[in-house]
Amino acid sequence: MAHRVQVPNYPVEQNAQLASSSDSCSCTCTVNTLGLSLTEVITVFTSEMWGEIDSCVTPACPTPCDKTGDEDKMDQYTSDPPDTSAHIQNEGFSQLDAMISAIVVSGSPVKSQQLGEPDLTIEEKKHLLMEQYNTKPVVFLERYHTHLKPDHLEAFAHVRGDCRTQYYCTEVQKQASSSAKKTRVRNHRYAALRALQQGGQYFSEEQMRFREPLLYEQYIGQYLSEEEILQRSEDAMQNGPTGLSDLLINSYQEKELQKRLEEEQGRENCAEQEEEEDDEAPTQSEWEPTAEEKAMLKEEFLTQMHQRFLEGRDKDFNYSDVDENPDYDNLDILSRDAEERYFDDDDEEEIEEEENEDTNMV
């Protein structure tokens, strides 16, 4: 590199310019040349240029191995929202929309609201959920994974490398497997219930009375007349075995049944005495139902017994013979529509009861 230095002969402060043949870098310095030799001036100029002026260096972008996992996550959450349009197009927008709709239907809160603030509309909830998914998909999965199904997990394929994504996807699969098992057991029990209704005495009035004497007494027994009680005994004798030993067994079972009934009624009365009762309210013994009301009570008792069976509350019934029996799979297919109607009716009744409770509270 060549340098050109101009040094006047009179002792005054003067500008000196150092120029190089390179077009990329230049520097102008001001020095007091009084009392300095040419060699010293050149040394000063050289030191000024290389000591104070640094070349512009563009910072090198860190390689992927230089970034930690936390930095990658921070980039994901603090940078612009990730472009998931290509992923959504590949998997289908309908699947993402189904996931958003499932969360909205679940009733899960999507935003913190102040007391008295109007409730969000369905469209507002969908819009907020879509924003949350686009900006922070991993946090979205962590927050709403209990409301998702395995079919929804493809919406998180673009963040599957995150350990949290892997964990919550596994949780969704587990809860789906558990739900499928419960549904299979329920279907088997419903198929068994249908089979027991069509044949056998399991759901006969006498057998149900023996299994749940207090429940039977509350819905049916206490409203029977003397003639009806006598007729019930005659029907039991005609439908059952007729040997002497069988009669003795039936007599013993009847005594045991009455004993159980008295014990359960005693516990029931103790529980009622602990509660405050309205003295003006009519007691059950004062109310005499009509024939139509008796039929409704009997139907309600039968429904209660069916529900107890489906919930696995019949203590003497071996449910393992039903729950794990593949023979009930075919029966399940045949009775699937009837079962759905049965449980849909239960759901509707629960919804109506909740609405009535809300109305009464208002």
Write out the DSSP string of 126-168: HHHHHHHHHH-HHHHHHHHGGG--GGGGGGGGGGTTSHHHHHH
pLDDT tens-digit series, residues 261-278: 777 767 777 766 666 555
Give the mean model confidence (pLDDT) for residues 178-203: 89
Cα gap 292→313, rounded to integer Å? 29
Report CA-CA distances (Å) from 101 to 76, 120, 213, 304, 347: 25, 14, 47, 34, 20
Picking from 33, 40, 42, 28, the residue whose alpha carbon sits closest to that of residue 13 is: 33
* Environment class of 9 (CB within 10 Å of its CB; exposed 0-12, middle 13-18, buried 19+): exposed
Give the mean model confidence (pLDDT) for residues 218-231: 85
Q: Name the more confident of 246 and 300.
A: 300
C-beta of residue 41 within 8 angstroms of C-beta of residue 16? yes
pTM equals: 0.49
Three-class DSSP category at 85:
helix
Q: Name the more confident of 328 and 241.
A: 328
Q: How confident is the model at residue 249 (pLDDT cuts 50, 70, 90)?
A: low
Q: Where are the domains of the chain?
A: 14-52, 201-271+287-324
H helix or E strand, kind and range, residue 27: strand 27-31
* pLDDT above 90: residue 12: no
* pLDDT above 50: residue 21: no
Q: What is the pLDDT of residue 317?
A: 93
pLDDT tens-digit series, residues 95-110: 789 999 999 999 899 9
pLDDT tens-digit series, residues 123-170: 999 999 999 999 999 999 999 999 999 999 999 999 999 999 999 999
pLDDT tens-digit series, residues 208-223: 988 888 888 889 988 8
pLDDT tens-digit series, residues 250-263: 665 666 677 777 77
Structure tokens at 212: 């749940």
Q: Which residue type, as a one-letter code, is found at position 290?
A: T
Cα gap 84→156, rounded to integer Å? 10
Give the mean model confidence (pLDDT) for residues 113-123: 89
Give the mean model confidence (pLDDT) for residues 287-307: 91
Picking from 85, 26, 312, 88, the residue whose alpha carbon sits closest to that of residue 193 is: 312
Q: What is the pLDDT of residue 43?
A: 52
Residue in this structure with the two tokens 């102008």, named with its chain if needed: 28
Provide the percentage of residues in the chain whose pLDDT is more than 70.
54
Cα gap 187→322, rounded to integer Å? 10
H helix or E strand, kind and range, residue 255: helix 244-274
First to last CA, the chain: 92
pLDDT tens-digit series, residues 310-325: 999 998 899 989 998 8
Cα gap 215→14, rounded to integer Å? 115
Cα gap 176→350, rounded to integer Å? 24
* pLDDT above 80: residue 54: no
* pLDDT above 70: residue 69: no
Give the least confident one: 6-10, 52-56, 196-200: 52-56
Give the mean model confidence (pLDDT) for residues 31-42: 50
Structure tokens at 309: 């069976």
